[in-house]
Structure formats: C-alpha cells, structure tokens
Amino acid sequence: MEVATYSQTNPTIFGTGAVNLIGEKAKEFGIEKAMIVTDVGLVKVGVVARVQGLLKDAGIEVIVFDKVNPDPLDTMINEGGEIARNEKVNGVIGLGGGSVMDASKGINLLTTNAPPISNYYGSWEYDRGLPLILVPTTAGTGSENTIYGVITDSTTNAKKVILTTGDLAIVDPELTYELPAHLTASTGMDVFAHAAESMTVNMTNPMTKLLAFDAIRKVIKYLPIAVADPTNVEARENMMIASNFAGIAFSNTCCHLGHAISQCMGAKFHVPHGISCAWALPETMAYAAIGKFDEVKGVADALGVEYGDNESPEELGKKVADNMRAFMKKMNIKSIADYGIKREDMLGDLVDMVMEDNCFPFIPSPLNRDQVREIIAKVYDTYK
C-alpha cells in the first residue's frame, strides 16, 4: 500500500436539532458580535431569523450579510470582508449552501488579512481568521469540512480556490427539510460526484475510499426518497451524512476531471454546480477506469453494478457510466441542450479552461487536449 496522508479539518456536531447549540458553541469561541453570511432566500424563509434568535438568546450581537449568490464573486467577498472589519465582528457564521460556505471562508479570511481576496488564491500564506462556524442548509458540497473555498474571479471569469477551513461545523438535517425537489436532486448529485471523483484521483487514501464508498451507497438509496418525499427524515439525515462524508473524502484528495469540467461550465454558462457535476460524472468515470481500474470497481460496487472477472477497463467504465446516467434520469436531471447550450459551445475555449482548472492536475492518468475535447463531446452527446 502506498504512503497516504489524511485528516479531518474541523470538529463536527451532527444531528437533527443540532443548530440549537449554535449560541452555546459561539460563546465557547468567545464570540460577542457575529456576522451571519447567507443569502436572501434563507432570509425570506426564516432560517436566518431562527439562527439570529439563537445567537441573540446567548447574548451575542448579530449583523447579517445576505448578498451571497451562486458562484460567489471575489468582489462580493471583498465587500463582505470590509463590512466585517468596519463592524468589528469577532466571529463569522456561514449559514447556507455551498456558495455561502465558500463565501464565508473568504470573508472570514479578510477579517484578519488585507484585501483583495485574490491575494490568497491557492496560498496558505495568511493570518488565521476569526472563529468560523459553518452551518450547511443543503446536502451538497460538504464544504463545512473541506479546506477549499471556490470563488469566481470577476476579471477572468475563472473559478479560483482559497485554502482555508472552518473551526466548527454544525450539520443539522432539519435545515434541509424545506429544500425543493429539484435542488435536492442537484445538490445530491454534487455529493455523488465528490465521492466518486475522490475515490479515483491520482492520490487517494484509505480514509477517502471508506467515506466515499459509504457516501455513494447512501446517495443511491436515499436521494430518490428525499426527492420524492422531502419530509422523509431518514432520507434527509442520510443525505446530510453522505454530503459530510464526501466533503471530508475529497478534502483529503481533491476531485479531478469531472469537477474541472463542471466548474468551467459553471463559469462559462452559469449553470447550477450540481447539475454540471452530474453531466460530467459518467464520462469521467468511464475515463478513470483506464488508470484507476480497482478504484472504479469500488465505485461500481457502491453503485451495485454487476461485472465479471474478465471485465476490461473500457467495459467496466461503460457500465458505470450507463448506470450513472440512468440514475440521473430518475432524478430528473435535464440535459445540457435543455439549458440552451450548444455542442459547439462546449468544444471551444472550454477545453482550455478545463485543462487550466485547479482540479485538472489530479486526473488519474494523462490527457492531451484532443482527449479532453473528445471526453467533453461525449459528455454532451451521451445524455439527452
């Protein structure tokens, strides 16, 4: 067995009703004035007011920054950091989906470091931020337990990464009960992609494989239930566990080609991240079977795919890819064409963007530009 390194970035409190502990835990960090980083949707449905009330009951002053949008821009993060500094907060609460988790990490970093956030892309050279508590409201990115924050650079329109973590994750499935079916499906496919890609990168490890395998099994079993019945507590709990496990898994390895494609599609076409992850995943696994045959067997086992002892990498990869596409259909994932994206738009500068993406160095076997272009074409052609 190869030498491997793995860890968990921060402690996690998990369980239905766990969010009720946020005031107590914030006080333990010495937080007296907190900024809640969130989005307007969560303000409208009352989730922010609930958390704000819990913090105020603990004697903590609260300000709310609710300007986070999907694919958070560097300019928004710079603005949030400036407000946090001017308001002299001494703690940050990230409350929302993956974009909010990412934005919270960036804003918190700017509470103790000079702006702009672009100074810190891909770097560990900064002072530690204020106490940061991350509270996810989707079963999707698992960002509450990763070292990554993904930011859209406004000058290049490219996805950039900051390397920073939270201090505590509070993972409460109850916060996902109101998530509509289409968002449950798309965020759940992000979990699927994190798990499958983290098992098949060029630097995987035993912990990642264990967590990712379990995450895939949970997604296959419980995502259809959560989509069909959003109030199903067992399904919501297990999807939240799957999201958290997959986040820890890929934080220890990164993702690879699938996320390189999906992130660049998000930057270029502004499509939901979970949807673009779903589109890219089947052909990513078909390709990964060539260089990571045993690992893709693990993905196949988690999916329940049957295969023979003499299966070739190409045969196994096709079976896994076909199985994934069938699952996507069950989740009502629309095609790329349904989003108004033309085939020729996929095969131009997107190819170069993918090869320059932060995830591309983690691909399991080398790919040249023509091969990347061919895979992207298959991503478009094989899911209608």
Within the chain, which residues score under 70 in pLDDT? 1
- Sorted by sequence, the CB contacts under 8 Å of residue 86 that are 6+ apart come out as none
Q: Which amino acid is at 365?
A: S
Contact 105, 46 (CB under 8 A): no
Looking at the domain assignment, is residue 55 inside a domain?
A: yes
Contact 260, 351 (CB under 8 A): no
- Separation between Cα atoms, residue 111 and residue 267, nearest integer Å: 27
- Sorted by sequence, the CB contacts under 8 Å of residue 248 that are 6+ apart come out as 8, 9, 142, 145, 146, 207, 211
Diameter over CA atoms, the chain? 65
| Gyration radius of the chain over CA positions | 20
Q: Pick the last residue of a domain from 148, 176, 204.
A: 176
Same domain, 108 and 208: no
Structural domain count of the chain: 2
Looking at the domain assignment, is residue 252 inside a domain?
A: yes
- Separation between Cα atoms, residue 322 and residue 209, nearest integer Å: 22
Looking at the domain assignment, is residue 1 inside a domain?
A: no
Same domain, 200 and 275: yes
Looking at the domain assignment, is residue 6 inside a domain?
A: no
Reported for 224-233, long-range contacts at CB under 8 A and 24+ positions apart, including other chains, are 224/330, 224/331, 226/139, 226/184, 226/188, 227/181, 227/184, 227/185, 227/188, 227/331, 227/332, 228/181, 230/177, 230/178, 230/179, 230/180, 230/181, 230/184, 231/177, 233/16, 233/173
Q: Pick the last residue of a domain from 129, 144, 176.
A: 176
pLDDT at 1: 63
- Sorted by sequence, the CB contacts under 8 Å of residue 268 that are 6+ apart come out as 157, 345, 349, 350, 353
pLDDT at 131: 98
Same domain, 91 and 136: yes
Looking at the domain assignment, is residue 60 inside a domain?
A: yes
* Residue among 306, 320, 71, 327 at smallest CA distance from 191: 327
Tokens in use for 123? 């770097």
Contact 54, 48 (CB under 8 A): no
Tokens in use for 375? 């895979």
- Separation between Cα atoms, residue 82 and residue 159, nearest integer Å: 22
Q: Which amino acid is at 185?
A: A
Buried-exposed string 41-79: b where 16+ CB fall within 10 A, e elsewhere: ebbeeebbebbbebbeebebebebbbbbeebbbbebbbb
CA atoms in the 13 A half-sphere facing the CB of 316 = 25
Contact 94, 103 (CB under 8 A): yes
pLDDT at 87: 98
Same domain, 189 and 335: yes
- Separation between Cα atoms, residue 132 and residue 139, nearest integer Å: 20
Range of the domain at 46: 12-176
Three-class secondary structure of residue 87 per DSSP: helix
Looking at the domain assignment, is residue 46 inside a domain?
A: yes
| CATH code, domain carrying 98 | 3.40.50.1970
Same domain, 209 and 296: yes
Run of H or E residues at 37: strand 33-37
Q: Pick the last residue of a domain from 144, 159, 176.
A: 176
- pTM for the model stands at 0.94
